[in-house]
Amino acid sequence: MAFSTEAVFREDSYLRETEASVVGVNERGGIILDRTIFYATSGGQPGDTGILVREDGSRIAVAATITGESKDEIIHVPALEQGVPEVGERLRLAIDWPRRLLLMRMHAACHLLTVVCPYPITGASVSEDDSRVDFDIPDAGFTREDVTARLMELVRANHPIYTSWISDAELAANPTLVKSKNVRPPSGTGKIRLVCIGDNASVDSQPCGGTHVASTAEIGEIHIGKIEKKGRENRRFRIRFGAMPAN
């Protein structure tokens, strides 16, 4: 039986703590709650880690968060040797906020990269200190320095980043919103979550279910670490935090 977890992070990516009730514990010890602030691994963004605090004050460390049988079922995977909560028990949830904030900054930076490099995306992976986006382009013609400079222009412009929802029909009428070459946004649920950058989405909008910071300035200083050739028609861009090292 699959549960449907209310994904609180989708409406408020800045919520670090909340409360929830246990609705199930699966055969591998995975904990399923009625609602959660723990993002589950998907779309190239790793799931959250953190703690669940029981009413007696004891803690259950969450080592990973994944989706279950359906995308709506979010499973909190405990670290080894943790207590097992009862169904119906109330828990206090706290995500590893410093790690999540890094992931939100990096994820937003990946969106900016797709603005600077407007080519079909063939893959992406976000991590705390190094993220990559793969593009379908035969010859980049881009330099690390140019791309970094254009990314930092967008960061400094302090554009707002926000979400809005559109219908399947609106998405079908605007196919250029989808930048990913191989992955289609889920359709059939009736609505698609768009991540928009800039007033009236003037900088960008694209379907995405991940967590992002609320403005481009919050991304902070980033640079392109490398542009790698991955096959004849693929270029992999690596984004890192901080200023570009001089060399």
Identity of the residue, 76 or 212, whose beta carbon is nearer to Zn ion in the bound complex: 212
Round to whole Å and give the CA distance between 30 and 141: 47
Round to whole Å and give the CA distance between 213 and 84: 33
Should residue 112 be labelled a site residue for Zn ion when binding is judged by CB under 5 A?
no
Closest contact distance (angstroms) between CB of 247 and Zn ion is: 31
Identity of the residue, 82 or 211, whose beta carbon is nearer to Zn ion in the bound complex: 211
Identity of the residue, 22 or 126, whose beta carbon is nearer to Zn ion in the bound complex: 126
What are the DSSP calls for the chain, one per residue? -----EEGGGT-TT--EEEEEEEEE-TT--EEESEESPPPSBTTBPPP-EEEE-TTS-EEEEEEEEE-SSTT-EEEEEPSS---PPTT-EEEEEE-HHHHHHHHHHHHHHHHHHHHS-S-EEEEE--SSEEEEEE--S-----HHHHHHHHHHHHHTT-BEEEEEEEHHHHHH-GGG--BSSPPPP-SSSEEEEEEESGGGSSEEEE--S---SBGGGG-SEEEEEEEE-STT-EEEEEEESSPPP-
Identity of the residue, 93 or 208, whose beta carbon is nearer to Zn ion in the bound complex: 208
Closest contact distance (angstroms) between CB of 179 and Zn ion is: 11
Residue nearest Zn ion by beta-carbon distance = 208
Structure tokens at 223: 């640079």
Should residue 85 be labelled a site residue for Zn ion when binding is judged by CB under 5 A?
no
Task: Tell me how many residues contact Zn ion (CB under 5 A).
Answer: 3
Should residue 208 be labelled a site residue for Zn ion when binding is judged by CB under 5 A?
yes
Closest contact distance (angstroms) between CB of 87 and Zn ion is: 33
Residue window 158-197: x/- pattern of binding to Zn ion, with contact defined by CB under 5 A: -------------------------------------x--
Closest contact distance (angstroms) between CB of 162 and Zn ion is: 12
Instruction: Candidates 11-19, 54-62, 77-85, 210-218: pick the segment binding Zn ion (CB under 5 A).
Output: 210-218
Q: Which of 210, 222, 223, 239 binds Zn ion (CB under 5 A)?
A: 210
Identity of the residue, 82 or 205, whose beta carbon is nearer to Zn ion in the bound complex: 205
Instruction: Candidates 34-42, 61-69, 182-190, 205-213: pick the segment binding Zn ion (CB under 5 A).
Output: 205-213
- The footprint of Zn ion (CB under 5 A) covers 195, 208, 210
